[in-house]
Structure 1
Amino acid sequence: MSIFTEKTQLAAHRQLFPGLANKAYFNYGGQGPMPRASLDAIVQAYDYIQKSGPFSNGMNAWIVHESNLTREAIASELGAPVQSIALTEDVTVGCNIALWGIDWQSGDRLLLTDCEHPGIVAAAQQIGRRFDVEVDICPLLATLNEGNPASAIASHLHPNTRLVVLSHILWNTGHVLPLAEIVELCRQHNGSKPLLTLVDAAQSVGLLPLNLTELGVDFYAFTGHKWWCGPEGIGGLYIRPEISESLTPTFVGWRSIVNDDEGKLVGWKADARRYEVATSAYPLYAGLRSAIATHQQLGTASERYQQILEKSKYLWQRLSELPNIKCLRTSPPEAGLVSFELSEQKKHSALVNFLEQQGFMLRTILNPNCVRACVHYFTLESEIEQLLKAIVDFGV
C-alpha cells in the first residue's frame, strides 16, 4: 500500500505541520505552513549565533557552511549545479537580478504574458521606462483551455525581443506552461541578439518535479515559503551557467566580490554567488532545508506531484458538480491550484471571508476575477468535502 493511501502515515506526517491543526488550509500558493522541524531549526540557529558570536571568525565560517548546505539542498531538488544557485529573499528579488543585469539598449523589446504577478509587471515596466525598452504583452489567458501557449508566444516575438518573462505555473489559473517547448523556440529565435527566458517559479518549486539543466531555461526565480512550506525571506535564482558571465550584478556587496590578502577588490565571485549582496537572516537557511527534508520523508518529488494531481482533480470535479460555480479549467488541473468563479462574481470576497470564519483558508484573484483554492500532497479528501459543504452553506 502506498504511504499516501495509508491513513495513519499521512496523519502522522500532517502532525509535523502545526499550522494544519486548527484549520483547513487551501492557500499554499500564497504561503505554506512551516513544519515544526523548520521552526525548531530557526530557533536553534539563532541560539547558536548568539552563543558563538554573533560576529567572529568561527561564526563567519559557520555562515559559509550554512550557505553552502542550503545551495546544495536547493540544487539537488531543482536538478541544477550548485554553482548556478544564488540565494535571495524571494521570487521578486530573483527576477530583478535578471531584469536589471541585462545590458538593455534603446529599442530592445521585452515580452511578458498577461498572467504575470503585479510585482514582476511593475519591474518590467520600470525597465521599459528607464532604458526605452518596449514591453509587449502576450495573451496567454486565452490559451487556458484551448490553443498552444508556445505558439502564442512565438507570434509575439520581434527581431529585437531580448527577454521573455513568464511563469512556469500561472499564479491565477494554475495553468502549467510547456516550458521546455517555449525555451526551445526562444533558443531558435532568429533575432538580432540571443533571446533569453526568465521564469517566475513561485508556483512551481516544491510542486513540480524539476530538472532545470534539462529544461535549459536561462533564469529561474523561486521562493521557499510557498509549496516548500519554508520560512518567508529565503528564495533563490537559478542562472544557466553558460550565460552567467553576460549578466551584470546590479546590487553589489561583500558577498558578491573577491578580495586579495590585503583586502583589495580583485573581482567577482566565480559563480552565482556574485549576485548575493550582504548580511541575511541566516537561520532561515536551516529552516528551509528542514522543510525540504520534511517533504522528502513522504516520497519523491514525482510521487508528491502525483498526489497533488489526484487531490486537485478531485476538488475540481466536486466543485464542477455544484450549481452556480464554474471552474476556470474545463479539464483536470495540472497543478495544485484550482480557480473557480461564482455566478455572482461580486460575492467572491464575501465567500472567502465567510470560509475563513469557518476555518477554511482560500483567496480571491482579481484578474481573472475568481476564487483560488490550493491543495498539497497531504491535503485530505475529508478537508475537501468539508470545504465543499461550507461553500454550499454560504449559499452559492
Structure 2
Amino acid sequence: MSDFLLDPDVIFLNHGSFGACPKQVFGEYQKWQRELERQPVRFLQRELPGLLSDARRQVAEYLGANPTELVFVPNPTFAANTIARCLPLGPGDEVLVSDQEYGACRFAFQFAGKEKGFRVVEQAIPLPVESNEAIVEAFWQGVTENTKLIFLSHITSTTALTLPVKQICQRAREAGILTMIDGAHAPGQIAVDLHDIGADFYTATCHKWMCAPKGSGIFYVREDKQSMIEPLVVGWGWGPEKTFHRENEFLEHHEWLGTYDPSAYLAVPAAIAWQNEFVTDAVRQRSRDLARSAVELAAQIDGIERVHPDSFSFQMGLIDVTAKQVEADVLKSWLYEAYQIEVPVIRWQNRTFIRVSAHAYTTQQHIEVLIQALQAIDSSHGPKRS
C-alpha cells in the first residue's frame, strides 16, 4: 500500500473501476504538468509532437501494435463514440453486443443507432460459462446477415468474465464482419497482443490495471481500416494546414483535439516501466490467488455462490449474493460505512454480484474483513433486506 496514494484506512477492493496510480507514476504525471505550465507555447507547439510520438511507440510495443495504429484518448467511451458515429451504418444494419457490455459504450451505439437507423442487438452469454467454445457458440447465435459490427469486451466490467475475443475476431473476419473490442480491463491484468487478437478496432484504459493517471486510454485501428475512421472532434489536424503528422492522416486527424493537458498520456510510459519492474509474475499470481480466495471463502457462506471457474477470471473475482435479498446500493453503502470496504456491488439480469479486485496493495487481511462482512449480512447489524 505504501507505493500507492490510496487511503490506508480504506480496504480498496475496487481497482477495476478507476485503478490506482503509484506514487512514482503520479510524480511523473505532475512533472509533465509543471513542464506544460513552465512554457506552454514551447511545450504544446514544439515539444509535444515528439513526446506523444515516443509515448505512443512505447505503448504500441507494450500492446503488440505499430505506433501508427493507435492514438491516445481519454477513455474507451470516447473511442466507442468515435466508432458509433463514423462507421457507415444505416437502416437494416445491426451491431451485435453481448448482454454483459459496459453501459456507457453500449449507450454510445444505441444513441447513434437512433440517429442513423441501425439496430443494437444484445446476445446473451449464459452464466455460468463452461468453455470458450460454448461462449463463442452462444454469442454467435446473434449473428445475422445484417450484422456489420461486433462490439465486445475483452474482460467484462459487469461480470468479470474473460471472453475469447481472438476466436470471435477470427470468425468475424471470415464472415466479413468488423470487430471492436473494449479492453478496458485487459492491459495490465493480462498480456495483450493486438496483432494476435486480430480486432479491427480496440480500445483500452491505461488508468485501470496499467496504473497510469486518470484520463489516459488508447484507441487502436488496424492500418487497413484507418480510412473509415473520422475524428469525433474536428480540429486543426483535419484542415489543409497540417500540424503534427503530415505523413499519417489517421494520427493527424485524431491526435490534436485542441488545447488540452496531455500529462496523463505522457505518464503512461512511466506506468509501463513501473509495471515491468514491480508487477512481476509472482505479484500477478498473488493478486489472482487473493481474488480467487475471496470467491472461494465467500461461497462457503450460506446464500452466497461463485459464478465462474477460476480459468475465466484473473485479478477480479465475482461473488453472487442474490439470495441475500439486499439491494445493491444498500449493500455497497453498508460495506463501506460499517467495514470501510470499497467494492462494487452490481445489479445485472436480476442478480446481485460483488466484484472483488486484487492488486499489489491487497492483503489477505483485506479479504478476511470482506468475508467477515459477508458473514454478518444476516445478523441484526447487517444491511436492511429489500
How high is the TM-score relative to the length of structure 1?
0.86
Amino acid at match of 1:364: V
Q: 2:252 and 2:200 mapped to 1: Cα distance?
A: 16
Query: Who is 1:3 aligned against?
Result: none
Aligned position for 1:227: 209
2:342 to 353, 361, 370: 361
Within 2, Cα distance between the matches of 1:77 and 1:304?
18
The verdict on how the C-alpha distance between 1:331 and 1:297 changes in structure 2, with shifts beyond 3 A counting, is: closer
Q: Distance in 1 between matches of 2:34 and 2:253?
A: 29
Q: 1:291 aligns with which of 268, 271, 275?
A: 271
Partner residue of 1:163? 149
Query: C-alpha offsets along residues 277-318 of structure 1, whole Å, 9 cap, x if unaligned?
Result: 233211222333323322221245x65543443222222211
More displaced, 169-178 or 367-376? 367-376
Structure 1 position 129 matched with structure 2 position 129: no
Q: Does 1:175 align with 2:171?
A: no
Is 1:31 matched with 2:18? yes
Contact 1:174–1:336 (CA under 8 A) maintained in structure 2: no
Q: In structure 2, what is the equivalent of residue 152 of structure 1?
A: 138
Using the TM superposition, give the Cα deviation of residue 205 of structure 1 relative to its aligned residue in structure 2, in angstroms.
2.1
CA contact (8 A) 2:299 2:305 kept: yes
C-alpha deviations, 1:193-236, integer Å up to 9, x for none?
x3111111111122110101111111111112221222221211
Structure 1 residues 145-185: Cα deviation after superposition (integer angstroms, max 9, x where no partner): 46712112222111221100110111111111111110111
Q: 2: CA distance between counterparts of 1:16 and 1:106? A: 52
1:62 aligned to which of 47, 50, 58: 47
Aligned-partner residue type, residue 84 of structure 1: E
In structure 2, what residue type is equivalent to 1:205?
P
Aligned in 2, Cα 1:188/1:314: closer, same or farther, shift over 3 Å? same
Q: Distance in 1 between matches of 2:98 and 2:374?
A: 32
2:172 match: 186
Match of residue 384 from structure 2: none
RMSD: 2.5
Pick from 29, 36, 47 the counterpart of residue 42 of structure 1. Answer: 29
Residues 380 and 257 of structure 1, relative CA distance in 2, 3 Å threshold: farther
Match status 1:371 vs 2:338: no
Residue by residue over 1:336-394, the C-alpha shift from the partner in whole angstroms, topping out at 9 and shown as x without a partner, is: 22222322232543332222122221011121422221112442223212321233244
1:238 to 216, 220, 224: 220
Contact kept, 8 Å, 2:19 with 2:209, in 1: the verdict is yes
**CA contact 1:20–1:33 (8 Å) conserved in 2:** no
Aligned residue in 1 for 2:85: 100
| Runs (5+) with no aligned partner, structure 2 | 380-386
Distance in 1 between residues matched to 2:272 and 2:116, nearest whole Å: 39
Give the Cα–Cα distance (whole angstroms) in 2 for the partners of residues 345 and 372 of structure 1: 17
Residues 239-258 of structure 1: matches in 2 within 5 Å? 239-256=221-238
Show the counterpart of 1:382: 365
- Report 1:231-380 matches (<5 A): 231-256=213-238, 259=241, 269-276=248-255, 277-299=257-279, 305-329=284-308, 331=310, 333-342=312-321, 343-357=323-337, 358-367=339-348, 368-380=351-363
What fraction of aligned residue pairs are identical, expressed as a percent? 21
Normalised to the residue count of structure 2, the TM-score between the two structures is 0.88
Residues 68-87 of structure 1: pairs in structure 2 closer than 5 A: 68-87=53-72
Contact between 2:226 and 2:250, CA under 8 Å: does it hold in 1?
A: yes
Partner Cα distance (1:89, 1:381) in 2: 34
Q: Do the aligned partners of residues 252 and 195 (structure 1) sit closer, same or farther apart at CA in structure 2, a change above 3 Å counting?
A: same
Secondary structure of 2:326 counterpart: helix
Q: Distance in 2 between matches of 1:324 and 1:106?
A: 46
